[in-house]
Amino acid sequence: MSEKYDILIVDDNPQNLKVLGAILIEAGYGIHIAQSGEQALKAAETMRPDLILLDIMMPGMDGYEVCRRLKADALTEHVPVIFLTAKIEEEDVVQGLELGAVDYVTKPFNAAILLARVKTHVRLGVHQRLLFEQSNIDALTLLPNRRRFDSVLAAAWRKALHGELPLALVLLDVDYFDSFKDVLGSSEGDDLIRWLAALLDEAVLVSPHFLAHYGGKEFAILLADTGLQAAVEFAETLRLSVLDAEVAHPASPLGAYVTISLGVASLQAQAALDASDLVKAADQQLILAKQHGRNRVYPSP
Ligand SMILES: [Mg+2]
């Protein structure tokens, strides 16, 4: 294989791990192992394997539950899952496939069949990921687009419903962007949006939040487990970073440089509300930031 693909093997039986690992290593795959459902979820989220081989019968969290959680998490929903099952009852296999697994192999393993299925699904998975990325990445900034943002927000909201921690959202846009383009041209406008995308991308690397290009001159940053005060402070650091960069704006009534306005909202997810309520609340704050003079975070700390 010219490119090395990583496979996560999940089985509570060390002997199975050994046999599977040997077959896959021999075929040129990179191998990671987990011996429980909990370990599997953690490994899947951090290493993003190209494929997961998942035992169904495990003590504690079984393979069905692991699959359900993998598919409910935006970080892992697209990783193909093949079930390892000792049971050949059709009913069980159907249940597994309905949870989003792509295939299954029965124990004891036939190396040739196993490798054929692994190869097929790694290849399909790579194609699917490419398609997925093309429809979820904004071509101008190479950031996740609004469509991707909506699905990440929905997943984060579902997760937050079960917890105590709030979700926060920062919506921001460039002040007087139309005048900027009117004077410098739309190509310079594109450059400015790309520049801002890179600046924001670096800022979210430091504090791991989800950044998306919301469209046009607007960006969204979702902050999990974050209350209003912390979100406002984060937003303020973004505002200052843009200001401190001193990017020339030839037509801003606010001064010589490019500035941004930011709306911040934080909500405790609850059944009576919807994820879109968080967006509406942040959007309302962004409008207020504009109305109160721009180049500010609203509500101001
Ligand atoms: Mg087992």
Q: What is the pLDDT of residue 1?
A: 45
Cα distances from 171 to residues 50, 84, 214, 283, 295, in angstroms, run 33, 44, 9, 7, 13
SS3 34: strand
Q: How many Å lie between the centroid of ligand 1 and the Cα of residue 14?
A: 9
91, 127 contact by CB (below 8 A): no
SS3 204: helix
Q: What is the pLDDT of residue 87?
A: 62
Q: How many Å lie between the centroid of ligand 1 and the Cα of residue 74?
A: 26
Q: What is the pTM of this model?
A: 0.68
Q: How many Å lie between the centroid of ligand 1 and the Cα of residue 112?
A: 21
46, 99 contact by CB (below 8 A): no
Q: What is the pLDDT of residue 90?
A: 63
Q: How many Å lie between the centroid of ligand 1 and the Cα of residue 292?
A: 61
Report the C-alpha gap between 155 and 70 in whole angstroms: 12
Q: How many Å lie between the centroid of ligand 1 and the Cα of residue 63?
A: 9
Q: How many Å lie between the centroid of ligand 1 and the Cα of residue 43?
A: 18
Provide the CA 6 distance to its chain's centre, in angstroms. Answer: 19
175, 164 contact by CB (below 8 A): no
Q: How many Å lie between the centroid of ligand 1 and the Cα of residue 54?
A: 9
Q: How many Å lie between the centroid of ligand 1 and the Cα of residue 55?
A: 6
For residue 11 the two structure tokens come to 């089985």
User: In 10 A of CB 88, how many CB atoms?
Assistant: 10
Tell me the sheet residues that pair with 119.
none
Q: pLDDT digit of tens for each residue in the chain (301 aa)? A: 447 899 999 999 999 999 999 999 999 999 999 999 999 999 999 998 999 999 999 999 999 999 999 998 878 988 999 999 876 666 777 888 888 999 988 888 899 999 999 999 999 998 888 888 888 999 899 999 999 999 999 989 988 888 888 999 999 999 999 999 999 999 999 999 999 999 999 999 877 799 999 999 999 999 988 999 999 999 999 999 999 999 999 999 999 999 999 999 999 988 889 999 999 999 999 999 999 999 999 986 4
Domains and CATH numbers, the chain: 6-135 (3.40.50.2300), 146-298 (3.30.70.270)
Q: How many Å lie between the centroid of ligand 1 and the Cα of residue 36?
A: 9
Q: How many Å lie between the centroid of ligand 1 and the Cα of residue 109?
A: 14
